[in-house]
């Protein structure tokens, strides 16, 4: 397919036409025809002169028509490009409505708002202990934990992460961005801070509040969960194909924690939590990244390579279950069968490890695999705290969607 030749401009057409007319009237033929020294001697010469005049007049008329048309198009194009046309309008973004909660106090038939909180925002909590309400606020690019006394109608800031955690400030790694957990256990307020890839901590303060909160651990995104008659502090982070968690036991009376183990899942290589067995040990199995990659060379990729047990009462004394040299090849999943007190190893071949006899046996048929049990937490919601509020006379709770 050929491109059409570029059309000459108006100025170039005029110049070309003038050149051709000049050539025509300066040619020897016209000079001879229109010479006054020489008269036409035949009808053929008169006819030639008439034809030439006709062609000249016609060419002039055609040129004028084209010039006028092109000039009109040029004016139209100029008007189009010089007109101030408004830019295309973009649809305006309307943020989704939020639910706000107001604690209002009625004084002399007049309503006064004491507390305003975003009930639908992540990291919002409201907890009552006797005549005190506890809640976080997010002011001045920081996080505050505040209390409100329903008897005295006073608000106090009991903790501000930007001023009250000297250890966190000295690290200069940034401040937490949200409250990830907040609850009262045995007359003690526990709260945890964190954020995506942000530092954090878990803190406690005895109730009623007479002193600043104390730091329990520098965990990030932690939650406190009660599971199998124990309090657990579970912290962690995850994104895409990876996740890690750190499990610790909490003694709420002594305010002490005992780190048990860390677990890495997915494409993050490391020991992964399998189960808590009937001997109160945490079973962990080391695995390589759970995805195929040529980067790892001759290493077994995405396989479990050994199994250990960590006693909960003495986590520093790790016990071997299946050593690396005894671990079957190409194992891609490990599960604990609580009813039979066995480990199920599945892969290209399947095996069971019996804790009672300390033996590993290959099997042909897979048994039923139960759902994995592990220390977990239920996200506390603002609504849960709201439902438990018991307000004295003269107060009212108001929720509004705005």
pLDDT digits (tens, 9 = 90+) for 42-76: 555 555 556 666 565 655 555 555 555 555 544 44
Average pLDDT of the segment spanning 15-41: 52
- Residue 223 belongs to some domain of the structure: yes
43-82 vs 10-25: helix crossing angle, rounded to 10: 170
In eight-state DSSP terms, residue 369 is: -
Average pLDDT of the segment spanning 374-386: 85
The pLDDT, as a whole number, for residue 34 is 46
Do residue 216 and residue 104 come from a single domain?
yes
In eight-state DSSP terms, residue 81 is: H
Average pLDDT of the segment spanning 318-331: 96
pLDDT in tens, 196-229: 988 899 999 999 988 899 999 998 999 999 998 9
Q: Cα dihedral sign for 368, 373, 379, 385? A: positive
Please give the Cα distance from 94 to 91 (Å, whole number).
9
Do residue 111 and residue 198 come from a single domain?
yes
385's tokens: 């705290």
Do residue 204 and residue 165 come from a single domain?
yes
- Residue 242 belongs to some domain of the structure: no
Do residue 111 and residue 215 come from a single domain?
yes
- Residue 257 belongs to some domain of the structure: no
Is the backbone peptide bond immediately before 108 cis, with ω within 30 degrees of 0?
Answer: no
- Residue 288 belongs to some domain of the structure: no
Do residue 230 and residue 379 come from a single domain?
yes
Average pLDDT of the segment spanning 182-187: 96
Q: Which of 125 and 41 is assigned the larger pLDDT?
A: 125
- Residue 253 belongs to some domain of the structure: no
Q: What mean pLDDT value characterizes the chain?
A: 83
Which of 112-116, 193-197, 359-363 is the least confident region?
193-197
**Percent of the chain scoring above 70 in pLDDT:** 76
Asked if residue 350 lies in contact with residue 320, where contact means CB atoms within 8 angstroms, the answer is: no
In the predicted structure, residue 15 carries a pLDDT above the cut 90: no
- Residue 261 belongs to some domain of the structure: no
- Residue 117 belongs to some domain of the structure: yes
Average pLDDT of the segment spanning 105-134: 95
In the predicted structure, residue 106 carries a pLDDT above the cut 80: yes
| Residue 345: partners with Cβ closer than 8 Å, 6 or more residues away | 304, 328, 331, 333, 334, 351, 352, 353, 360
Please give the Cα distance from 131 to 152 (Å, whole number).
9
Do residue 147 and residue 106 come from a single domain?
yes
Of 248, 117, 252, the C-alpha closest to 190 is: 252
Structural domain including 33 reads 10-77
Do residue 169 and residue 211 come from a single domain?
yes
Side-chain-side CA neighbours of residue 217 (13 Å)? 23
Confidence of residue 2 (pLDDT cuts 50, 70, 90): very low
Please give the Cα distance from 52 to 134 (Å, whole number).
106
Domains in the chain, number: 2
Please give the Cα distance from 29 to 100 (Å, whole number).
99
Confidence of residue 23 (pLDDT cuts 50, 70, 90): low
Do residue 138 and residue 209 come from a single domain?
yes
3-state class (DSSP) for residue 313: coil
User: Which residues, listed in sequence order, are joined to residue 31 by a DSSP beta bridge?
Assistant: none
Q: Helices marked H in 26-120 — which ranges?
A: 28-33, 43-82
In the predicted structure, residue 256 carries a pLDDT above the cut 90: yes
**Percent of the chain scoring above 90 in pLDDT:** 60
Which of 86-90, 91-95, 123-127, 312-316 is the least confident region?
86-90
Do residue 36 and residue 143 come from a single domain?
no
Do residue 111 and residue 164 come from a single domain?
yes
The pLDDT, as a whole number, for residue 257 is 95
| Residue 150: partners with Cβ closer than 8 Å, 6 or more residues away | 131, 132, 133, 391, 392, 395
- Residue 218 belongs to some domain of the structure: yes
The pLDDT, as a whole number, for residue 259 is 96
Q: Which of 173 and 75 is assigned the larger pLDDT?
A: 173
Do residue 73 and residue 196 come from a single domain?
no
Most confident of 19-23, 80-84, 196-200, 283-287: 283-287
The pLDDT, as a whole number, for residue 228 is 86
Do residue 30 and residue 70 come from a single domain?
yes
DSSP notation for 240-296? TTEEEEEEEEEETTTTEEEEEEEEEEETS-EEEEEEE-TTSEEEEEEE--SS--GGG
């Amino acid at each position: 397919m050929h491109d059409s030749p570029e059309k000459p401009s108006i100025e170039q057409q005029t110049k070309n036409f003038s050149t051709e007319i000049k050539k025509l009237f300066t040619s020897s033929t016209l000079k001879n025809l229109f010479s006054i020294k020489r008269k036409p001697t035949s009808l053929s010469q008169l006819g030639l002169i008439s034809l030439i005049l006709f062609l000249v007049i016609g060419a002039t008329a055609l040129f004028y028509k084209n010039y006028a048309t092109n000039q009109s198009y040029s004016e139209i194009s100029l008007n189009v490009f010089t007109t101030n046309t408004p830019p295309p309008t973009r649809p305006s973004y309307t943020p989704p409505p939020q639910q706000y909660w107001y604690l209002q106090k009625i004084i002399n038939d007049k309503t006064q708002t004491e507390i305003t909180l975003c009930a639908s925002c992540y990291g919002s909590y409201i907890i009552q202990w006797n005549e005190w309400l506890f809640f976080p606020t997010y002011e001045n690019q920081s996080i505050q934990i505040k209390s409100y006394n329903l008897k005295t109608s006073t608000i106090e800031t009991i903790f501000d992460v930007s001023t009250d955690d000297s250890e966190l400030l000295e690290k200069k790694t940034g401040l937490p961005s949200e409250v990830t957990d907040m609850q009262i256990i045995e007359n003690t307020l526990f709260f945890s801070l964190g954020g995506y890839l942000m530092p954090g901590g878990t803190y406690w303060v005895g109730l009623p509040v007479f002193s600043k909160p104390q730091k329990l651990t520098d965990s990030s995104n932690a939650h406190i969960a009660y599971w199998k008659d124990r309090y657990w502090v579970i912290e962690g982070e995850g994104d895409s194909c990876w996740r890690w968690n750190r499990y610790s036991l909490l003694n709420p009376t002594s305010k002490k924690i005992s780190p048990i183990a860390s677990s890495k899942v997915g494409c993050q290589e490391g020991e992964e939590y399998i189960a808590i067995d009937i001997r109160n040990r945490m079973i962990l199995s080391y695995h390589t990244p759970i995805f195929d990659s040529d980067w790892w060379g001759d290493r077994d990729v995405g396989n479990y390579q050994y199994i250990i047990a960590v006693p909960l009462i003495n986590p520093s004394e790790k016990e071997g279950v299946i050593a690396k040299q005894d671990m079957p090849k190409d194992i891609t999943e490990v599960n604990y069968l609580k009813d039979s007190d066995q480990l199920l190893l599945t892969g290209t071949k399947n095996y069971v490890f019996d804790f009672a006899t300390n033996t590993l046996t290959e099997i042909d048929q897979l048994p039923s695999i139960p759902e994995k049990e592990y220390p977990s937490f239920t996200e506390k919601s603002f609504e849960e705290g709201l439902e438990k509020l018991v307000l004295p006379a003269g107060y009212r709770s108001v929720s509004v969607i705005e």
